[in-house]
């Protein structure tokens, strides 16, 4: 694509180097004020003149050409108008030439990014509270991959702790293997809830649970066999959900994997004089950094999350030599990540700066927070099933003869669920509501999918016009310009989504593109009596379809060709 910013910077007679000038030039939000703008305020101190006077002087000196056809001085800004037909064709041709990979780049070539996301708990339901970490992490995986990074997706399973001792006690008292095999996590969850219902009246259960967990840690054959059985039943079920969500992982190493890898990091911290004893526990004092102590070993000798996360970070650095390691975890864990990042920094791990907590907001029910102990959860499978069912009903009503209706309904329903976690800034809290998540109108994934299907339909219905060249003067209008500019900003949106760890940058742009396309479609008949105009407009439709499909792919959402 033509670098209009650099062309403007090279032609400006301003006392800044070209890189600084280019960085200050921005695209305008309103096309009536030009296509690019340069603020002259930064030059006021250097040139000892008002920004208004500077803008007028620079405008008078600026020599227009075939690329920059007009310049205006407005209230201290320089507004530049480019050759808009050139801009339009430049963007459209780039999209078409990319063959569905527009926005991809090699900016991450030779670099590795580890992404820790989803992190389901063994023996617990895969509920709506896991949606954000799973959707955001998976989208980042796809975005970084598109930018040429070597990406390692990690599902850091919650498979360690006294709760597994509780599960064994509950299973031996009230469960059996046949029922667990048949009912899956639902049965394991029933047993987990029952244990917590019985525990207040039977305190001996707590001690039995501790003993069984200790037997797991010692490698006791019976304890290990039951633990592995719980793990198999859980993963068998959750992997079916991951398949529906198009989510993948390269590592399933959970907390238990690092059980025998904590001694060395702890000794390193002791050798560096960082660990002190506090009431029998081993901690790293962080008061000088405005944080409470980081607890590593409890007074009974057992480890904590921080200990295992430190061991995991060190192992990942040694094993993957990452350039960044992202942790997609709710903002409620902000302190935990600040603490263990700081401990690694104090230990002299210069790569601690490459650890990033990608925080997101919490999901709660309309009547309160979810609790697996009380069984008060909305299962993600149920949410997906309901969304797919509603999608199927809508399609049956609007297009009953659609081929592969069930496949399309699956893509639409799953897309609606995923988009609900990706449409807004990730830090925003979500109060889960079926009405909201199953709304198929407005700024939703089904709206994007429908717009893509409309583009595809136009391209299929268009009559063939052999030997006719496109007349791109048909694209010289406000609706086409706005649409094409939005399409042209897609590569930068992909880069920004990675740099900000924010998939919603892409979500928001896709909505803008879809809305702009529908305005273009209403204002300008694509299939028309003028073959040359038709060819030019069809290329705009083709470019729009390509970018919508690629953007949905990066979010993990399907793009059915018909709806």
For residue 239, what is the domain's CATH number? 3.40.50.620
Same domain, 246 and 195: yes
What pLDDT, on a 0 to 100 scale, did the predictor assign at position 310? 97
What pLDDT, on a 0 to 100 scale, did the predictor assign at position 298? 87
Domain boundary among 316, 343, 365: 365
Same domain, 242 and 149: yes
Residue 19 within a domain: yes
b/e map 454-484, b = 16+ CB within 10 Å: bbbebbeebeeeeeeebebebbeeebbbbbb
What pLDDT, on a 0 to 100 scale, did the predictor assign at position 217? 82
Give the closest residue to 369 by CA, choosing from 327, 429, 326, 312: 429
CA separation, residue 386 to residues 128, 380, 529 (Å): 13, 10, 45
What pLDDT, on a 0 to 100 scale, did the predictor assign at position 543? 98
Same domain, 71 and 214: no
Residue 470 within a domain: no
Domain boundary among 60, 82, 104: 82
What is the dihedral sign for C-alpha 533, 489, 326, 421? negative
Same domain, 121 and 176: yes
Distance of CA 464 to the CA centre of its chain: 40
Residue 165 within a domain: yes
What pLDDT, on a 0 to 100 scale, did the predictor assign at position 474? 95
Same domain, 181 and 240: yes
Residue 161 within a domain: yes
Distance of CA 336 to the CA centre of its chain: 22
Residue 78 within a domain: yes
What pLDDT, on a 0 to 100 scale, did the predictor assign at position 82? 97
- Domain of 203 in residue numbering reads as 112-259+304-365
CATH assignment at residue 23: 3.30.1360.70
Same domain, 126 and 177: yes
Residue 220 within a domain: yes
Domain boundary among 346, 365, 384: 365
Same domain, 70 and 120: no
The number of folded domains in the chain is 2
pLDDT digit of tens for each residue in the chain (563 aa)? 889 999 999 999 888 888 999 999 999 989 999 999 999 998 998 899 999 999 999 999 999 999 999 999 999 999 999 999 999 999 999 999 999 999 999 999 999 999 999 999 999 889 888 999 999 999 999 999 999 999 999 999 999 888 999 999 999 999 999 999 999 999 999 999 999 999 999 999 999 999 999 898 888 999 999 999 999 999 999 999 999 999 999 999 999 999 889 999 999 999 999 999 988 899 999 999 999 999 999 887 778 889 999 999 999 999 999 999 999 999 999 999 999 999 999 999 999 999 999 999 987 766 655 554 555 678 899 889 999 999 999 899 889 989 899 999 999 999 999 999 999 999 988 776 766 766 667 899 999 999 999 999 999 999 887 777 889 999 999 999 999 999 999 999 999 999 999 999 999 999 999 999 999 999 999 999 999 999 999 999 999 999 999 999 999 999 999 98
Same domain, 72 and 21: yes
What pLDDT, on a 0 to 100 scale, did the predictor assign at position 370? 56
Same domain, 126 and 11: no
Same domain, 150 and 67: no
Instruction: Give the strand pairing for 294-297 and 281-284.
Output: antiparallel
Residue 451 within a domain: no
Same domain, 35 and 119: no
- Strand ranges for 3-139 from DSSP E: 26-27, 36-39, 68-74, 77-82, 112-116
Same domain, 124 and 189: yes
| Three-class SS state of 410 | helix
Please identify which residue in the block is written with the tokens 């959860």: 377
Q: How far apart are CA 493 and CA 506, in angstroms?
A: 6
Contacts with 193 (C-beta within 8 Å, 6 or more apart), sequence order: 372, 373, 374, 375
Residue 87 within a domain: no
User: Helices H, strands E: what count in the chain?
Assistant: 22, 13
Query: pTM higher than 0.85 for the full model?
Result: yes
């Amino acid at each position: 694509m033509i670098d209009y910013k650099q062309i403007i910077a090279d032609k400006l007679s301003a006392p800044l180097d070209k890189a600084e000038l280019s960085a200050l030039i921005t695209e305008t939000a309103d096309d009536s004020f030009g296509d690019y703008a340069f603020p002259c305020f930064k030059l006021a101190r250097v040139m000892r003149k008002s920004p208004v006077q500077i803008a007028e002087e620079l405008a008078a000196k600026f020599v227009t050409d075939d690329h920059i056809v007009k310049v205006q001085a407005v209230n201290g800004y320089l507004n530049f108008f480019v050759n808009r037909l050139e801009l339009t064709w430049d963007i459209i041709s780039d999209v078409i030439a990319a063959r569905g990979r527009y926005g991809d780049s090699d900016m991450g070539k030779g670099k590795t990014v580890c992404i820790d996301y989803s992190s389901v708990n063994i023996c617990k339901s895969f509920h709506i509270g896991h949606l954000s970490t799973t959707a955001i992490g998976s989208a980042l995986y796809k975005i970084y991959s598109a930018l040429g990074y070597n990406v390692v997706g990690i599902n850091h399973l919650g498979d360690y702790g006294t709760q597994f001792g509780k599960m064994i006690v509950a299973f031996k008292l009230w469960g059996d293997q046949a029922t667990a095999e048949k009912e899956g996590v639902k049965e394991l969850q029933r047993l987990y809830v029952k244990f917590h219902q019985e525990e207040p009246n039977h305190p001996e259960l707590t001690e039995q649970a501790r003993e069984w967990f200790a037997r797991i840690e010692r490698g006791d054959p019976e304890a290990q066999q039951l633990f592995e059985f719980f793990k198999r039943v859980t993963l068998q079920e959750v992997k079916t959900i991951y398949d529906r969500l198009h989510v993948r992982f390269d590592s399933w190493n959970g907390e238990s994997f690092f059980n025998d890898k904590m001694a060395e990091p702890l000794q390193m911290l002791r050798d560096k004089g960082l660990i002190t004893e506090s009431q029998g526990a081993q901690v790293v004092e962080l008061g000088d950094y405005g944080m409470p102590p980081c607890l590593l070993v409890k007074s009974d000798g057992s480890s904590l999350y921080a200990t295992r996360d430190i061991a995991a970070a060190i192992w990942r650095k040694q094993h993957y030599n990452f350039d960044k390691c992202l942790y997609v975890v709710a903002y409620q864990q902000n302190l935990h990540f600040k603490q263990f990042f700081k401990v690694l920094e104090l230990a002299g791990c210069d790569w601690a700066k490459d650890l990033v907590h990608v925080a997101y907001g919490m999901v709660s029910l309309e009547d309160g927070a979810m609790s697996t102990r009380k069984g008060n959860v909305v299962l993600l499978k149920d949410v997906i099933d309901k969304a797919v069912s509603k999608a199927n009903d809508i399609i049956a009503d609007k297009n009953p003869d659609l081929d592969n209706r069930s496949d399309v309904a699956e893509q639409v329903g799953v897309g609606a669920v995923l988009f609900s976690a990706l449409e807004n800034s990730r830090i925003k809290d979500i109060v889960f509501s079926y009405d909201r998540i199953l709304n198929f109108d407005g700024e939703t994934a089904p709206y994007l999918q429908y717009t893509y299907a409309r583009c595809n339909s136009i391209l299929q219905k268009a009559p063939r016009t052999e030997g006719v060249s496109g007349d791109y003067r048909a694209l010289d209008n406000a609706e086409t310009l706005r649409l094409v500019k939005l399409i042209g900003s897609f590569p930068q949106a992909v880069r920004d989504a990675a740099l900000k760890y924010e998939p919603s940058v892409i979500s928001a742009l896709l909505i803008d593109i879809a809305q702009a396309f529908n305005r273009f479609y209403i204002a300008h008949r694509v299939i028309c009596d003028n073959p040359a105009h038709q060819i030019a407009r069809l290329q705009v439709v083709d470019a729009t379809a390509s970018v919508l499909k690629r953007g949905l792919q990066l979010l993990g959402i399907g793009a059915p060709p018909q709806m």
